[in-house]
Structure 1
Amino acid sequence: MSSKVQLSWDSMVTGETLGVFRSTFDAEHTREFAHIVDPQQQVYTDGTAPSLAYDTLHAVKDFIELPQGTVHSKESVEFHAPALVDQPATVLVLVADKSVRRGRKNFTLECRVFTGSHHVISAFKSFVVPGKTEEPDSSTSRSFDFGLFTAGTNPGQAGPKRQVETVEFVVVQSLLDEFGRVTATDGPIHTDSRIATEQFGGTILQGMYLFELASQTMTRFSSPSQWLSSGKLAAKIVGSSITGETVTIIPTAHRVTNGDTVHVHCSFEARTSSGSTVFVAEAVGPLTAKKYLKELAS
């Protein structure tokens, strides 16, 4: 379903409910997404569908005008329940915030994803609009990271930091094309080498692909179904990686908290072979896997 009129930054109102996006996503869509992000079938092995297959830009583009050059700068997701792939998917879209910072227009949308009546995901997507504005900077700056980037101040077992297995891959155009097609992140900077090379030196990797790989790492501390029932992940996209570069995602487990369920707190950094950091993230999720429970919670 498409909106007749897409809102621009100027016409957004903070707190406004934009409407419900009714997607055509089905079991085939989630299988295709899983094949792209987990081609060796090493992660989603318990029948759980990858929930981020529903957290795409399709709903955003249905309501919001995204001028060429709009940057997806931050993403935060709280998982509530595994997706029910045999149920229709809907996304409630709200304007969480709009602001001016350092002469740039920013906005954040809240997307509440449902499969059937099940609330699957609460996602906050932040964007920076291209160009400069003479409007004064906003007086307040709201955070939508679930407190994860300041979680180091919370009580918990702060043992020695332990680096978890890194993830490494080469950015290739076929990946950008396939991932862009299923997530609506198929803009020219990701798919048109002529346009992207002029600005970045090559087509650039979608930040949400790195977000998905960080989410996959968190499943290994428990299971896909447990992580996608209660995990939280917040990320900042701080740079770009282009075709031909090798990207390494470095996860670090830095804290364990005990309660009814043991949780592990992790940080992530994605670096390119050229030495640039392009992505940083913080996450918290259940810790039940025997391998990590013995190593981290002791």
Structure 2
Amino acid sequence: MRVGQLVGKFSPNFDDAHVHSFKTAVDPHSEIYSSEIPPSLAFDTLHAVKEFIELPQGTVHSKEATQFHGIAEPHLSTTVEIFVADKSVRKGKQNFTLEYRAFSGEAHVLTAYKSFVIPGVSTEAEKNPIAFDFGLFGNKLDATHTYALNDTKFQVTQELLDSFGEVTATDGPIHSDPEIATPQFGGTILQGMYLFELTSQRMSCLSSTERWLQSGKIAAKFVGSSITGETVSIATAMRNIDEDSQRIHCSFEARTDSGRTVFVAEAEGPLDSKLILEKAK
């Protein structure tokens, strides 16, 4: 792979059946997605990567960043173009980032960056990876004006891992096979992209799902893992509320019930200012 290379063009299965399966896995009570607004992150799965690249066993999905440009339509033809955005070596580990450009018909509806760490030790010269985070982690936040929202809590179950893994192509043994995962990790591991999806849902609630999927952006780092049987809490802090532009910057941190941080994210999106007081209670 070389930086800038077009890896391939993938036609994802984004029909009504696939959208329904994704919704069932991430929004079982239809609290976020309506029949008119499908979940755009159903585009952003590993299906496209696995179509063109063989990821070695033990490859770690370390970071994810997504910017939404518009609503995807299941009845239109869909295409995901994949490019090599970066290759690097850090602390003896090979890193690479892929850029996704997702199209619904001719409309560009989503741009995503997926970063991976390859197992093993590299002898190549050290080179720090580029930060594909839309500047969100570099945004200086105003800690004096922070509103904490109620935590999002859920329990990690094998049923959850299986349903999400099947629809997103993240159903490898560490997520689906307790006999393989338990000796090494203590249980099967929750997919990081499930936390990413819940964070996206939380941002949509600050205005509307439609507005969020037209202009929101989020960047996340997967810094740990949670396993079956654990309860995970996602804390949300609203900061840098811009009343003039009706935009907001939020920070997220997911922790297990044992206190381990497994996920951190920054997001910026549209804001309905009337919701500030209600959501901050």
TM-score range, shorter chain: over 0.9
Per the alignment, residue 7 of structure 1 pairs with: none
The whole-number CA distance in structure 1 between the counterparts of 2:253 and 2:34 is 26
SS of equivalent residue, structure 1 residue 152: coil
The worse-fitting range, judged by mean Cα deviation, of 92-101 and 13-22 is 13-22
1:141 CA displacement: 3.2
Per the alignment, residue 251 of structure 1 pairs with: 236
- So what's the TM-score if we normalise by structure 2? 0.95
The whole-number CA distance in structure 1 between the counterparts of 2:39 and 2:276 is 22
Number of aligned residue pairs: 280
Give the conservation status (yes or no) of the 8 Å contact 1:158–1:256: no
Go from structure 1 to structure 2 and tell me whether the alpha carbon gap of 1:222 and 1:232 turns closer, same or farther (over 3 Å shift): same
The whole-number CA distance in structure 2 between the counterparts of 1:258 and 1:141 is 35
Per the alignment, residue 286 of structure 1 pairs with: 270
Quick check: 1:214 aligned with 2:199?
yes
Give the conservation status (yes or no) of the 8 Å contact 1:287–1:293: no
Quick check: 1:162 aligned with 2:151?
no
Note the 1:38-49 alignment, pairs <5 A. Answer: 38-45=27-34, 47-49=36-38
**Residue type at the aligned position of 1:241:** S
The whole-number CA distance in structure 2 between the counterparts of 1:165 and 1:263 is 20
The worse-fitting range, judged by mean Cα deviation, of 215-224 and 285-294 is 285-294
Give the conservation status (yes or no) of the 8 Å contact 1:159–1:255: no
The whole-number CA distance in structure 2 between the counterparts of 1:125 and 1:223 is 26
Per the alignment, residue 24 of structure 2 pairs with: 35
The whole-number CA distance in structure 1 between the counterparts of 2:156 and 2:279 is 33
The whole-number CA distance in structure 2 between the counterparts of 1:257 and 1:49 is 28
Note the 1:1-298 alignment, pairs <5 A. Answer: 12-45=1-34, 47-138=36-127, 140-152=128-140, 159-259=144-244, 261-288=245-272, 290-292=274-276
SS of equivalent residue, structure 1 residue 166: strand
SS of equivalent residue, structure 1 residue 270: strand
**Residue type at the aligned position of 1:164:** L
SS of equivalent residue, structure 1 residue 233: strand
The whole-number CA distance in structure 1 between the counterparts of 2:235 and 2:279 is 18
**Residue type at the aligned position of 1:171:** V
Aligned Cα root-mean-square deviation (Å): 1.6
Unaligned stretches of 5+ in structure 1?
Answer: 1-11
1:136 CA displacement: 2.3
Q: Deviating runs (4+, > 6 A) in structure 1?
A: 293-296
1:109 CA displacement: 0.1
1:197 CA displacement: 1.2
- So what's the TM-score if we normalise by structure 1? 0.90
